[in-house]
Amino acid sequence: MRDLLVISIDSDGNNQSKTIDPFSSELLEKVVALSDKRLWDQKWRDNPELPRNEDDLLDLITKMSVGEFLRFFSPLIKSARESLIN
């Protein structure tokens, strides 16, 4: 995911710095909006080491492969029926 979410900025012509793409936050917001809070609460109970704030969650995501991202978030997504109701 780092290749998708992290961009290089040429700051002075020689040095490049890495920063998280501003759209990374939008991706995270959309995933969280589609997620079921009860499933997140259960995941945190089962894995207390998981990040609980946006910055740390973005850091975790950038280290994931696309497959890891899908395996991590897929079980947290609301059912289609529930998404239509909300």
- Report yes or no on whether pTM surpasses 0.85: no
Identify the pLDDT of residue 4: 61
What is the rounded CA–CA span in Å between residue 61 and residue 13? Answer: 29
pLDDT, average across residues 35-40: 89
For residues 29 and 14, the model is more confident at: 29
- Structure confidence at residue 83 as a pLDDT band (50, 70, 90): very low
What residue has token string 């012509």? 13
| Strand, helix or coil for residue 29 | helix
- Stretch 61-69: mean pLDDT, rounded? 84
CA–CA gap between residue 10 and residue 32 (Å, rounded): 32
